[in-house]
Amino acid sequence: MPVTQYKNVEKQFANRLGSWIRRIWVSIANLFKYVMQKGKQRFTVMLIPHSEKKIFNFQISFFTLIFVTITLGIVLIGFFLLATNFTYTNEKITKVSQDLQNNETTMENLKDEISGIRKAGKSFKASMDNVMSVIGNQDYFSSVSSGGVGASYLAPEDSEEGSLKELADLKSMTSLMENSVEPLDEINKVLSTYKELLADTPTMWPLKGVRGNITTRFGWTIHPFTHLGYLHTGVDIAWALGTPVEATANGTVVQTGYTEDAGNFITIQHKYGFTTRYLHLLEIVTRKGTHVNRGDTIGYVGNTGLSTGPHLHYEVRLGANYVDPMNFLSITPDLAGVKVSGRATD
């Protein structure tokens, strides 16, 4: 394209753009003039009372009317927002007040509970002291005096200044519980050993589910048949024929049989040199060589052999010596409410 033609095109485009801009500017100016003319128009506002008083009127321009309308709108919107915010704030304050009252009630309840926990902690510590003194754990008492189990209970006034008393109580209780774990483990070991010892020692009552009537105790007495004095080597427990008889400790049956004096009888060997014998049985439900556990049924109360009525003659021997079975039974007749009546026997 020649340069001359290019210049002509450029000039034509510039003329057209300028003409288009002038037309837009003229349109804007005319619009502004129109708005100003309309805005300067005045309206007459008349207030006519129902009575015959003078009519009140005033004139207001269109711009002023728009300004007043916008101002009133802003005021109304602001009032609405303020009223809404006030209502919301008031509801929040009411809810916070209720929450504070509930929290105060909860805190009072927590204080009461913590006070109860503190009392329980003191009782627990006292009981722990007694138990540990029985099993002879001196390390436990050393830990208490040096800040171990329950040390905070010995000096609760040493709590940090400004801290809540209840918080100090909870810390003390936590310390007590944490430091009680090791002593309790030791107690558990002792009790486990004691449980095993009991299982192997004749400390269980020989009649299953009942106590019966003790008719003759261990010791010197008068024989019901010969009427001569003799050593009664066990304890006679009278009860209904057929009542189950149980092993009073873990052991091995070393003898079963029948004699004219003892009737049907069983002998069980236990640990630690103990031997138990069960005489005058109606029936024997075990045999020699059988291992029996504490509480196993081995026979039934009978009236066999030299006997004046259904009863069990129960003996305990330690080595070769007869011992009083009542010294080993877990519940004595007096504590169990067993009647001690007249003598019937072997």
166-191 pLDDT tens trace: 777 777 777 777 777 777 777 777 77
52, part of any domain: no
Residue 312 lies in a domain: yes
Tell me, yes or no, whether 294 and 191 share the same domain.
Answer: no
Domain end, chosen from 199, 224, 246, is at: 199
**Within 13 Å, how many C-alpha atoms sit on residue 64's CB side?**
10
**Listed residues 165, 199, 233: the one ending a domain:** 199
Distance separating the N- and C-terminal Cα atoms of the chain: 150
Residue 284 binned pLDDT confidence (cut-offs 50, 70, 90): very high
CB 346 within 8 A of CB 262: yes
Q: What pLDDT shows up at residue 157?
A: 45
At residue 139, the pLDDT reads 57
At residue 143, does pLDDT exceed 60?
A: no
Q: 223 and 262 in one domain?
A: yes
- How many Å apart are CA 92 and CA 3, to the nearest integer? 79
What's residue 148's pLDDT?
A: 45
Least confident among 21-30, 49-58, 160-169? 160-169
State the Cα–Cα distance between residues 218 and 292, nearest whole angstrom.
25
Q: Please check whether residue 30 lies inside any domain of the structure.
A: no
Q: Which helix (DSSP H) or strand (DSSP E) does residue 185 occupy? A: helix 165-199
Rg (CA), the chain: 53
Nearest to 57 by CA among 43, 69, 40, 44: 44
Percent of residues, the chain, with pLDDT higher than 90: 29
**Residue 256 belongs to some domain of the structure:** yes
Highest mean predicted confidence (pLDDT) among 48-57, 132-141, 209-218, 293-302 = 293-302
In this structure, the answer to whether residues 288 and 326 fall within a common structural domain is yes
Q: Which residues make Cβ contacts (< 8 Å) with residue 343, sequence separation at least 6?
A: 215, 216, 221, 224, 236
Residue 38 lies in a domain: no
Report residue 236's pLDDT band, with 50, 70 and 90 as the boundaries. very high
Q: For position 343, what pLDDT does the model report?
A: 40
Mean pLDDT on 250-256: 96
**Residue-wise pLDDT tens digits, 17-41:** 888 888 888 888 888 777 777 666 7
CATH number of the domain encompassing residue 277: 2.70.70.10
Please indicate, yes or no, whether residues 184 and 267 belong to a single structural domain of this protein: no
| Same-domain status, 219 and 188 | no
Confidence of residue 122 (pLDDT cuts 50, 70, 90): confident
| Lookup: tokens for 183 | 């002593």
Q: What share of the chain is helix, strand, coil (3-state, %, to 5)?
A: 50, 25, 25
pLDDT band, very low/low/confident/very high, at 267 (cuts 50, 70, 90): very high
What's the CA gap between 59 and 54, in Å, rounded?
Answer: 16
Give pLDDT, residue 323: 93
Identify the pLDDT of residue 176.
Answer: 74
Residues 6+ apart with CB under 8 A from 141: 129, 132, 133
Using CB atoms within 10 A of its CB, is residue 230 exposed (0-12), middle (13-18) or buried (19+)? exposed
Same domain, 238 and 158: no
Shared domain check, 278 and 195: no
* Residue 41 placed within a domain: no
Are residues 242 and 178 located together in one domain of the fold?
A: no
Q: How many domains does the chain have?
A: 2
Where do we find the tokens 């052999």? Answer: 305
Helix-then-strand count for the chain, H and E: 6, 14
Instruction: Judge whether 221 lies within some domain.
Output: yes
CA neighbours closer than 13 Å in the CB half-sphere of residue 76: 6
pLDDT given at position 310: 95
Given a cut of 50, is residue 149 above it in pLDDT? Answer: no
One domain for residues 164 and 231: no
pLDDT of residue 140: 55
Indicate whether 278 pLDDT > 70: yes
Average confidence score pLDDT of the chain: 80
The confidence score (pLDDT) of residue 335 equals: 39
Question: What local confidence, expressed as pLDDT, does residue 293 receive?
Answer: 94
Q: For strand 297-301 and strand 244-246, is the pairing parallel, antiparallel, or unpaired?
A: antiparallel
pLDDT at 336 over 50: no
Residue 170 CA to residue 118 CA, distance in Å, equals 8
Residue that finishes a domain, picked among 199, 221, 239: 199
* Cα–Cα distance, 243 to 338 (Å, whole number): 16
CA–CA separation, 199 vs 206, rounded Å? Answer: 13
In a domain, 220, yes or no: yes
Name the residue range of residue 189's domain: 135-199
Question: In this structure, which amino acid lies at residue 38?
Answer: K
User: What would the two tokens of residue 119 be?
Assistant: 């009392």
Does 232 share its domain with 329?
yes
Contact partners, residue 204, CB within 8 Å, separation at least 6: 246, 247, 248, 249, 294, 295, 329, 330
Give CA–CA dist 302/346, Å, rounded.
12
Model-wide pTM > 0.85: no
Does residue 245 share a domain with residue 294?
Answer: yes
**What is the per-residue pLDDT for 138?**
54
Lowest mean pLDDT among 1-5, 8-12, 160-164, 327-331: 160-164
Rounded CA separation 276/256 (Å)? 12
Per-residue pLDDT tens over the stretch 76-111: 998 888 888 888 888 889 888 888 888 888 888 877
Q: Which residues pair with 279 in a beta bridge?
A: 313
Q: What is the pLDDT of residue 332?
A: 46
Residue 325, pLDDT score:
93
Q: For residue 221, what pLDDT is reported?
A: 86
